[in-house]
A = this chain, B = another copy of it.
């Protein structure tokens, strides 16, 4: 038997708490974030994301009742409340409140795997797409540097498609991560538009390394670029000045990661 409570007022205290999860400040305060739509909610259920609550309209709860997990409080909400919780014009009407990853990983204890470091990425869609691509390419984890946009906004989560449940995600000081990785004998590759860097397609595919992607306009921090094993570029043969950062990350991840 699933415990269920019905909420009808948009002024209900829980609704107000969930609405606050649309901002980074709200997510930091509660140490949770909100998943919007069945595909993302299902990923959380399937991968034992720490669920605090499930919220759905009458229709959505009925449609998915057999897949709802036991032991998680379920709240029946109105269409009006669903609209308050979503940044979409026509939300599907099913949500989950999930714990933010709690443990911060310590890079000095990491000796293997393929890792993506995000240095100052500003667009939530780019951040989400890069986590999804890292998952698809079989990467071990993604480290969000201090200058990168919060990856738990609704827009970033939509682009991420639940991949945060498939690999390690953590925030960290990328200088420290780069120093620890190189100390542990792992290659750390920066990316630059500079043709003084090495062509990514000349680097042998490997399994234990980190790839750094930099800010959309400015690229990587100069300090980081000077700490890497090697900096790489993607050879541009047309007249475009650069690639979209999420596309560049995809090309570089699939080029570098041994399958």
Contacts and interface: CB of A to CB of B under 8 A. Distances in A.
Interface of A: 125, 129, 132-139, 159, 161, 163, 166-167, 201, 234-244, 246-251, 254-255, 257, 259
A107 B124 CA distance: 39
B138 A238 contact: yes
Nearest to A243: B136
A244 B133 contact: yes
Contact of A159 (B201, B234, B244, B255): B244
11 contacts: A136-B240, A136-B242, A137-B237, A137-B238, A138-B237, A163-B238, A244-B246, A246-B246, A246-B247, A247-B250, A251-B251
Contacts of A249: 247
Given A235-B259, A246-B247, A135 B240 contact: yes
A250 B243 contact: yes
Nearest to A236: B136
B238 A139 contact: yes
A162 to B, nearest CB: 8
Contacts of A248: 250
A247 B166 CA distance: 19
A166 B238 contact: yes
